[in-house]
Amino acid sequence: MSTITVTPIAGALGAEVSGIDLARPLAPDAVRRIRQAWLDHLVLFFRDQQLTPASFLALAEAFGTPVEYPMVKGLPGYPLITEVIKREDERTNFGGVWHSDTTYLEQPAMAAMLYALEVPPSGGDTIFANQYLAYERLSAPLRQFLDGLVAINSSEKADVSRTREDMIRAAGDDRPRPSYAAEHPVVRTHPETGRRSLYVNIAHSAQFKGMSEAESAPILDQLFRHQVSAEFTCRFSWQPGSLAFWDNRCTQHYPVNDYHGHRRSMLRISLAGDRPR
């Protein structure tokens, strides 16, 4: 415990945690300290970890309940672990747009862990955005207006659908692709911190309930631009053995697609969440 160090990497969110081996079972005090750091900083980064699928799954289970990702099959023998790959010959990366994970589900993921196996010599960073700040920095009249709105979220928005189909074809999975939709508050209250955050995203939020797409679009477009403003973000450069652990309830993330001609291979686990309120 005394060796664990938490070092913020940006003013808005994000901290790097050192002095711990995640491949070994974590003591309860270590789990509590890491979870509190996670709630404080929204996304944590760990370097130089040596995880097998089994130890990665055990790590995730220390912080929540792993669940299957609804769109892509998991690893053989480990259905709760998804392999996220962009090959040297591919131009499109998986999930390559700003988003919160699975907001098209009735109970979106609470969190995700992403572990790097192979990374390009440069590029392939992931950017994260603090949605507490995105909400708090809006004007008071706009916050009041948004507080009463519900967003309709869909898995069928085109930008995400294309990348998802590319991933499914690459994995040789020819099953019919499911379609999901869910309604969630535009502003949600975090069940652990009690803080309010903006909870729409360009990948999945299609319109406001009770409003047409045309009526919703100008407001949503302004929110989509605002919520990923540079002052709300941090950026993480991956190395083999790096792990990111983010709170999906109050962040968005964006995998930068700037490494064509190089392979990037990651393992990902989603943790079950509750219904946003």
Picking from 5-19, 112-126, 146-160, 207-221, which range would have the lowest pLDDT averaged per residue? 146-160
- What is the rounded CA–CA span in Å between residue 275 and residue 64? 15
Listed residue (248, 264, 266) closest to 63, CA to CA: 248
User: Any catalytic annotation for residue 101?
Assistant: yes
User: Any catalytic annotation for residue 268?
Assistant: yes
Q: Is the pLDDT of residue 163 over 70?
A: no
pLDDT band (50, 70, 90) for residue 174: low
In a domain, 266, yes or no: yes
pLDDT in tens, 189-234: 999 999 999 999 999 999 999 999 999 999 999 999 999 999 999 9
In a domain, 242, yes or no: yes
Q: Is the pLDDT of residue 92 over 60?
A: yes
Tally the domains of the chain: 1
In a domain, 277, yes or no: no
Catalytic residue (choose from 41, 99, 196, 264): 99
In a domain, 261, yes or no: yes
In a domain, 110, yes or no: yes
In a domain, 89, yes or no: yes
Picking from 30-44, 47-61, 158-172, 253-267, which range would have the lowest pLDDT averaged per residue? 158-172
Listed residue (228, 245, 235, 201) closest to 39, CA to CA: 245
- What is the rounded CA–CA span in Å between residue 107 and residue 65? 13
Listed residue (243, 191, 277) closest to 43, CA to CA: 243
User: Any catalytic annotation for residue 253?
Assistant: yes
Question: What CATH number should be reported for the domain holding residue 104?
Answer: 3.60.130.10
pLDDT of residue 172: 60
In a domain, 67, yes or no: yes
Catalytic residue (choose from 190, 196, 253, 264): 253
Q: By residue range, what is the domain housing residue 122?
A: 5-271
Catalytic residue (choose from 101, 188, 190, 264): 101
pLDDT of residue 194: 98
Please give the average per-residue pLDDT across 56-79, as a whole number. 94
